[in-house]
Structure 1
């Protein structure tokens, strides 16, 4: 008879506070917002329901802020049935790859800037990139400096960067 009046749940771990439920819903909406910004090729790699795919496609068509907000809530609701962890991991891998590419791109830009500012940097560059043609490299650096002195558009600096990038790609 005491079981009849026992209002407390058997498992306290199953109980979620309203705040926790709201945080989880907002996290799914946030994940859905990241999905909206993804390219179709990336979305094709994910196992998403047809309903969620249609909702993501529809989100790009909406222009009014309130409509976008409501639609994002709808996407968050649809996300409850999806494997959120798999989606999150896929997006994180893609973002990590983008960050690594950006960092590598900045390193190449740094080489270009070092070469333009100091002739002594040619030796470390050639040791890092043994396929580099010193004479061609010096000529590109010289042309870029002349352009900078004359306040011309940086066409030679772009050629230098392209040469550096090509060397890096071939290495």
Structure 2
């Protein structure tokens, strides 16, 4: 008769993550670190990073060797474990939402530009109602010039100027 040993480690399910899971998490942290490194310093300033992480990010620019960079990125991944990951991910989410809002506003202004070029003065009145800081006279002049350029198959210089004016008018409204 064999004697069974009651080994709690064998009987209880392993609650630790697997080695593969740990590797995936480490690669994710390295990727997050690489994203931070790729950002401009002004964008990166939004994140509350430790001094060690700031130094590691600054050090990355100096590294030219591929192998040294790979090892350094592993070090950055290790440092990322000590950072406030929920806050960092929250800031990335906020940046993504801002980007989405900018894209939406950009597409809306493109639609306005197309509508202004298609409809003319009736659309100008609608735009000025929505954006009171817009200059009617400038809008009408840019629309006339853009239509003339399109008829003559010239580059859309005035259409670009019209879009720039629309964008500036929309920003003025946002500041009120």
Structure 1 length as normaliser, TM-score?
A: 0.80
Matched, 1:144 2:146: yes
C-alpha spacing 1:64/1:113, structure 2 compared with 1 (3 Å): farther
* CA distance in structure 2 between the aligned counterparts of 1:25 and 1:95, rounded to whole angstroms: 23
* CA distance in structure 2 between the aligned counterparts of 1:111 and 1:159, rounded to whole angstroms: 13
C-alpha spacing 1:170/1:44, structure 2 compared with 1 (3 Å): closer
* CA distance in structure 2 between the aligned counterparts of 1:40 and 1:12, rounded to whole angstroms: 46
What is the root-mean-square deviation of aligned Cα atoms in Å? 2.7
| Structure 2 residues not aligned, in runs of 5+ | none
Q: Report the counterpart of residue 157 of structure 1 in structure 2.
A: 159
Number of equivalenced pairs:
168
C-alpha spacing 1:59/1:151, structure 2 compared with 1 (3 Å): farther
| Structure 1 residues not aligned, in runs of 5+ | none
Determine helix, strand or coil for the equivalent of 1:8. Answer: helix
Are the counterparts in 2 of residues 144 and 154 from structure 1 also a CA contact under 8 Å? yes
Q: Report the counterpart of residue 117 of structure 1 in structure 2.
A: 118
Q: Report the counterpart of residue 45 of structure 2 in structure 1.
A: 44
Structure 2 length as normaliser, TM-score?
A: 0.78
Are the counterparts in 2 of residues 28 and 84 from structure 1 also a CA contact under 8 Å? no
- Residue by residue over 1:112-151, the C-alpha shift from the partner in whole angstroms, topping out at 9 and shown as x without a partner, is 1222233354344344334544443222101011123334
Matched, 1:17 2:33: no
